[in-house]
């Protein structure tokens, strides 16, 4: 009996020793994982400062060069003097109110007046138009319109072309959800004057008014004293 008890004691001690061994191994593995994670964090921080620092320990500022920051914190990237209104709050650009910014400086998803119609239909942002109409009056006139392409149930953006060249781009109010800053068309009459300045002339049509800014190559469509659209056109010499 004593021998049997001794055997049980040895067996119990063996399990006890193995348990201590497993415990030590578990702690060692845990410490290894912690050290590995810490090393990754150190390497990550080092790579960040090597990549973005100015060499004196400070982080590089990405607002220099061609990047310009307006008062509303919109970063404007200038590319050959053309501003894409999907990315840029063009009405807040320096020089907009004094007519230094014209239709020749404005694009929509890379398309501007004077471009070939293929720059629209071959553009993945536009593609096949939702509506298209052609006329043969003083030339081959084609109007193309997009709405459903952008998830809109009303007219969003229209391109008027003559002999294959875009001569006018009209952005209607529903499309303004894609615009930024003050260019989003949420303006009453006073807001129009403050943002776009006083027009050179006005034209009253049966259902809306047109504010003309010929030096900018721009018209505003005003319906019931609210901005309903902006139209950019080629400035004739």
Q: What is the pLDDT along the chain (237 residues), one digit of tens a residue?
A: 444 444 444 434 443 444 444 444 555 666 666 676 766 666 565 554 444 444 444 434 333 333 333 333 333 344 568 999 999 999 999 889 998 999 999 999 999 999 999 999 999 999 999 999 998 866 789 999 999 999 999 999 999 999 999 999 999 999 999 999 999 898 999 999 999 999 999 999 988 999 999 999 999 999 999 999 999 999 987
Alpha helices, H only, 102-188:
118-121
d(CA 134, CA 65): 44
Phi (first) and psi of residue 77, to 5 degrees: -100, 115
d(CA 117, CA 123): 10
pLDDT at residue 49, rounded to an integer: 46
- pTM equals 0.66
Architecture of domain 110-233: 3-Layer(aba) Sandwich (3.40)
d(CA 236, CA 89): 25
pLDDT at residue 39, rounded to an integer: 67
């Amino acid at each position: 009996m004593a021998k049997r008890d001794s055997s049980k004691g040895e067996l119990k001690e063996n399990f006890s020793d193995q348990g201590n061994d497993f415990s030590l191994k578990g702690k060692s593995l845990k410490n290894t994982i912690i050290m590995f994670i810490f090393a990754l964090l150190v390497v990550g921080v080092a790579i960040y400062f090597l990549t973005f620092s100015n060499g004196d320990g400070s982080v590089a500022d990405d607002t220099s060069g061609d990047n310009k920051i307006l008062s509303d914190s919109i970063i404007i990237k200038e590319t050959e003097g053309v501003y894409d209104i999907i990315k840029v709050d063009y009405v807040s650009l320096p020089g907009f109110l004094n007519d230094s910014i014209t239709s020749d400086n404005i694009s929509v998803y890379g398309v501007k007046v004077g471009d070939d119609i293929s720059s629209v239909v071959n553009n993945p942002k536009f593609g096949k138009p939702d509506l298209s109409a052609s006329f043969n009056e003083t030339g081959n006139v084609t109007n193309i319109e997009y709405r459903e392409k952008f998830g809109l149930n009303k007219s969003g953006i229209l391109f008027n072309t003559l002999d294959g060249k875009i001569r006018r781009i009209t952005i209607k109010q529903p499309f303004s959800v894609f615009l930024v800053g003050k260019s989003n068309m949420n303006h009453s009459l006073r807001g129009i004057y403050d943002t776009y300045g006083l027009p050179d002339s006005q034209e009253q049509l049966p259902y809306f008014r047109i504010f003309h800014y010929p030096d900018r190559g721009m018209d505003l469509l005003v319906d019931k004293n609210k901005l309903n659209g902006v139209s950019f056109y080629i400035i004739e010499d």
